[in-house]
Amino acid sequence: MTQSPVLEFSYQQFSSFVRRFNQEALLQALARRSLRVPLRLSPEEPGARIFMETPPWALAAVAKASILHGNSHRRSVPQERDIVTACWMHENLVPEELCHSHLNSAFAIMARTLYEQFPYQEHGLAELARPVVFFDDYAGSRRLKVIPPEAIAQLLGAPTVTATEIVVMLATSAERNSGFFDPAWLDQPQFTELLAVLPRDEILGVIRSVFGQTMEEFRQENTSAEQRTPLPHLDRYAFNPLTSRPFVRLSDGRLIAPVRHPIPRRLTPLELYYVGIARWGTAFTRELGYLHEDYVGRQFATLPDARVYPEIMYRERRQQAASTDWFVVFNDLVLLVETKATRSPLAARAADATVQEAYVTTLGEAFDQLGRTLDKIQAGAPEFAEIPTDRPFIGMVATLDPWYVANSLGRTFLPTPALPTVVAPLRDIEQLISIGQHQSASSILQEIVRAGDERQTWELGTALQQFRGATDRNPLLHAAFDRLPIRRETRP
C-alpha cells in the first residue's frame, strides 16, 4: 500500500483492515512492535522514527479494533509492515468531528489530541511510587470510612506495596518475554525466590483485580463504556479497555500486553478512579478527595524554604466557610492551593459538546475559591492572621487528572482568576517539589506566571523543563520506592 499523507480512511476501513488478521497473532505482533517503541517521544533518540510510525496509542487502537471486530478463525498472520500500515491508517482517519461546529474549536482539537497521546508517555518512578505514598501514607485529619489501606488492598488484590512490586514484575515480564506473562511460570523452580517475596495468591489476585481480562470481558467492558458515554463522530477517541486492563488472556491461558506503555501507571490514583467508584460509589470519590488533598500538602511540606498551613475555617455572615486547602508561605511569595480530585469524564477527554461545562464546573469552582480566600486575607479577616500580606500571591489548582490546555485555550471560557493562577496535575507538582529541594520553588513559580511570559500558558511540567537537573529527587516518591524489596533490580 502506498502511504500518501493526503489519503484518509473511515474508521470502518481501518477496522476492516485490522480484522483480516488472526486475533492472537496480531496481538503478539503488536506486543513485539511495542517493545521497540520508546516509552516517550524524544526526537534525539534512535527510536523516534519507530515511535512516529507506530505510536503507542495507535498500537492500542489496533488491538482494540482486532478484539472487537476480528475473530480467531482468520489464518492470516500479520507482518511488521502490516502493523505499520494499520497504525498509519489510524493516524489518517477521516476527522469527522471537524465537520461539526460544536466539536471543531481549537480548544477541542488540542484537548482531545493531548488526552489521546500524553497518557501513553507518562512513565517512571512517579507512576510506580505514587500509589504507595498516596494510599498508605495518608496523614489527614479526616477518618477514612470506605478506603483505608486494608480496603485498597482488597480493591487491588494485595497491599499497595506488594501490588506495586507485582506491577514491576509484570512490566519486566512483558519487556523480556515479547509482551507475555504466563501464570504457569510460577510453578517453575526459578520462581521460588520471587514467590518468597511476592506470594502466588497475591500475584494472581492483582492480575485478576486490575490487570488481566479475556477478550470477551474486553468486549463487555467496551460495550458498557459505549452505553454510558456515546461519542458520535469521535470513534477514534472512545474508551479503550486496554487502559483499564493492559493484559489480554489468550486461549491457552497466557497473558499478553499488546502495548506495554499503560502497565506502570495502572495503580495510580487516577487509573483506579472508576474501579473505586464501581465498588464504593460516591463515597469513594469523597474520600479520594481527602487523600488527594493530604498528598498535595505533604508534597509541599518537603520544601526546605516553605511553611505549609492547612485549610482555615471562617465565618461568612452566619455560616461557617472553608478557605483553600493549603497555604504555602515562602519568604517572597504566598501560594494558595486548591485541590480537585474530580477526574475529567470520558466525554471531556474526547472533547465533545460537554467539555467546556466539565472544565467550568471543576476548575471554575476552584478559581472562585482562590478568589474568595484572597479577599478574606486582604480584608484582614482575623482567622487568616498567620498568612502574610506583604508579598505576592499566586494561586494553584492541584488536580488529580491533567486538565490539558486549562492554562491556555481553556481560559477563554473559565472565569478570570483573581490572582495569577496555574492549573497543575500531581505529576507536575511532584516535579516542582523535586526541583524545589535545591532551587527556589517560589522564584520558579513567579518567573513562570509573571505577566506577559508565554510560559504561564504552558502545562506546568513543560514550563519546568528548563529548571530540571539530573540530581532532582522527590523525597516522598524516592522514600516510597526504597520500601520495595525488589527495588535494587528495578530502579529507573
Do 210 and 310 belong to one domain?
Answer: no
Do 348 and 375 belong to one domain?
Answer: yes
- pLDDT at residue 2 greater than cutoff 70: no
> What are the tens digits of pLDDT across the range 159-201?
999 999 999 999 999 999 999 999 999 999 999 999 998 999 9
Per-residue confidence (pLDDT) for residue 5, from 0 to 100: 54
Q: Which three cell numbers stand for residue 198?
A: 511476592
Among 246, 185, 250, 194, residue whose Cα is nearest residue 221: 246
Do 242 and 147 belong to one domain?
Answer: yes
Among 155, 151, 145, 149, residue whose Cα is nearest residue 132: 149
Mean of per-residue pLDDT scores for the chain: 93
Sort residue 307 into left (φ over 0), alpha (ψ -120 to 50) or beta: beta
Average of per-residue pLDDT across 271-283 = 92
Q: How far is CA 354 from CA 99, 231, 346, 413, in A?
A: 17, 11, 10, 13
Residues near 113 by Cβ (< 8 Å), separated by ≥ 6?
Answer: none
The confidence band for 209, taking pLDDT boundaries of 50, 70 and 90, is: very high
Is 481 or 40 the better-scoring residue by pLDDT? Answer: 481
User: Cα separation of 465 and 431, whole Å?
Assistant: 9
Among 340, 346, 347, residue whose Cα is nearest residue 425: 340
- pLDDT at residue 375 greater than cutoff 80: yes
Among 227, 266, 292, residue whose Cα is nearest residue 425: 292
Asked if residues 59 and 34 have their Cβ atoms less than 8 Å apart, the reply is yes
Do 142 and 83 belong to one domain?
Answer: no
User: Cα separation of 288 and 168, whole Å?
Assistant: 24
Do 235 and 359 belong to one domain?
Answer: no
Average of per-residue pLDDT across 401-419 = 94
Domain assignment present for 103:
no
Average of per-residue pLDDT across 315-330 = 93
Average of per-residue pLDDT across 274-295 = 94
Per-residue confidence (pLDDT) for residue 97, from 0 to 100: 93
Average of per-residue pLDDT across 280-295 = 96
DSSP state of 413: T
> What are the tens digits of pLDDT across the range 124-143?
789 999 999 999 999 888 99
Residue 317, domain extent: 279-475
User: Cα separation of 292 and 430, whole Å?
Assistant: 13
Among 21, 39, 38, residue whose Cα is nearest residue 81: 21
Q: Which residues face 213 on adjacent strands?
A: 248
Do 470 and 377 belong to one domain?
Answer: yes
Sort residue 411 into left (φ over 0), alpha (ψ -120 to 50) or beta: alpha
Do 341 and 362 belong to one domain?
Answer: yes
Per-residue confidence (pLDDT) for residue 288, from 0 to 100: 96
Domain assignment present for 46:
yes
Do 144 and 74 belong to one domain?
Answer: no
User: Cα separation of 60 and 279, whole Å?
Assistant: 27
Domain assignment present for 111:
no
Do 177 and 235 belong to one domain?
Answer: yes
Do 60 and 168 belong to one domain?
Answer: no
Per-residue confidence (pLDDT) for residue 487, from 0 to 100: 52
CB neighbours of residue 390 within 10 Å: 6
Do 306 and 219 belong to one domain?
Answer: no
> What are the tens digits of pLDDT across the range 140-158?
889 999 999 999 999 999 9
The confidence band for 261, taking pLDDT boundaries of 50, 70 and 90, is: very high
> What are the tens digits of pLDDT across the range 71-90?
888 999 999 999 999 999 99
Residues near 277 by Cβ (< 8 Å), separated by ≥ 6?
Answer: 284, 285
Per-residue confidence (pLDDT) for residue 47, from 0 to 100: 80
Q: Which three cell numbers stand for residue 245?
A: 486492563
Q: How far is CA 369 from CA 309, 393, 445, in A?
A: 16, 14, 20
Asked if residues 358 and 351 have their Cβ atoms less than 8 Å apart, the reply is no
Domain assignment present for 56:
yes
Q: How far is CA 176 from CA 57, 198, 453, 475, in A?
A: 21, 19, 46, 30
Q: Which residues face 152 on adjacent strands?
A: none
Quote the number of domains for the chain: 3
CB neighbours of residue 455 within 10 Å: 17
- pLDDT at residue 402 greater than cutoff 70: yes
Domain assignment present for 271:
no
- pLDDT at residue 4 greater than cutoff 80: no
> What are the tens digits of pLDDT across the range 435-472?
999 999 999 999 999 877 899 999 999 999 999 998 99
User: Cα separation of 288 and 340, whole Å?
Assistant: 10
Per-residue confidence (pLDDT) for residue 66, from 0 to 100: 97
For residue 471, the domain's CATH number is: 3.40.91
Please name the residue that has the C-alpha cell 494499520: 86
Do 363 and 470 belong to one domain?
Answer: yes
Per-residue confidence (pLDDT) for residue 451, from 0 to 100: 78
Domain assignment present for 302:
yes
Per-residue confidence (pLDDT) for residue 490, from 0 to 100: 41
Q: Which three cell numbers stand for residue 269?
A: 490514583
Domain assignment present for 273:
no
Domain assignment present for 16:
yes
